[in-house]
Chains A and B, each alone.
Chain A
Amino acid sequence: GAVVSQHPSWVICKSGTSVKIECRSLDFQATTMFWYRQFPKQSLMLMATSNEGSKATYEQGVEKDKFLINHASLTLSTLTVTSAHPEDSSFYICSARDPASLNTEAFFGQGTRLTVV
């Protein structure tokens, strides 16, 4: 199956700093990628849909100025958590669809554990 690589797998940062998370589709071109956030022992909550070459579409309640998404190429989307605070600590997961699978199956990255201290 298609591979989605997410980096870093874990990061610790100080309050007030920014953190960038990368999501790459390694063997296919993803025009659309999705960013999810997962709190401990909870489900995945969609944060935004990242569209190559255009602005991301954010879900209600997600601060677009805090969670900056850039999808500059067909294989890379980035999520930047700006001015991070402890409440931003979470598990962030990206996913992408492979057009060859008729857009039904989503492949997921390994996730990034963000801890803000």
Chain B
Amino acid sequence: AQSVTQLGSHVSVSEGALVLLRCNYSSSVPPYLFWYVQYPNQGLQLLLKYTSAATLVKGINGFEAEFKKSETSFHLTKPSAHMSDAAEYFCAVSSGNTPLVFGKGTRLSVIA
């Protein structure tokens, strides 16, 4: 079975500050890992994904994440937060052809 734990249901940062959203996973097989962003009443948009290639993955909107097998982590970072980054972020895991298993989500607030 696979699972995802997102530490912190709500993260608040100042505009221009570093964004760090934490994700730890559990998987008995090599995982595929994803970060999605969701704006209110909308579907999910893929930010980035790890599929066993480079461990440092760059995504859209300046986000990146690093896969650390030893720590079973896939934390999402962005050097400088923008007001438009305020949204709900979900980390997810799958083993390729299986449905995505989502974490509980982290709401990011950006303070001006």
> How many angstroms from the CA of A41 to the CA of B83 in the assembled complex?
20
Nearest Cβ distance between residue A101 and chain B, in whole angstroms?
Answer: 9
**Given contacts A104-B49, A104-B51, A104-B94, A46 and B44 within 8 Å (CB-CB):** no
Interface size for A (C-beta < 8 A) is 27
On whether the beta carbons of B105 and A42 are closer than 8 Å, the reply is yes
Whether B25 is near chain A, meaning CB under 8 Å from some CB there, is: no
**Given contacts A42-B105, A104-B49, A91 and B41 within 8 Å (CB-CB):** yes
Q: Which residues of A contact B90 (CB under 8 A)?
A: 43-44
On whether the beta carbons of A109 and B103 are closer than 8 Å, the reply is no
On whether the beta carbons of B99 and A49 are closer than 8 Å, the reply is yes
Of A6, A32, A41, which is within 8 A of B43 by CB? A6
Q: Which residues of B contact A10 (CB under 8 A)?
A: 41
Whether B97 is near chain A, meaning CB under 8 Å from some CB there, is: yes
Q: Which residues of A pack against B, CB within 8 Å?
A: 1, 4, 6, 10, 32, 34, 41-44, 46, 49, 91, 93, 95, 97, 102-111, 113
Q: Which residues of B pack against A, CB within 8 Å?
A: 32, 34, 36, 41-46, 49, 51, 90, 94, 96-97, 99-105, 107
Name the 8 nearest CB pairs between A and B, nearest first: A108-B43, A108-B44, A110-B43, A43-B104, A111-B43, A43-B102, A44-B102, A104-B51
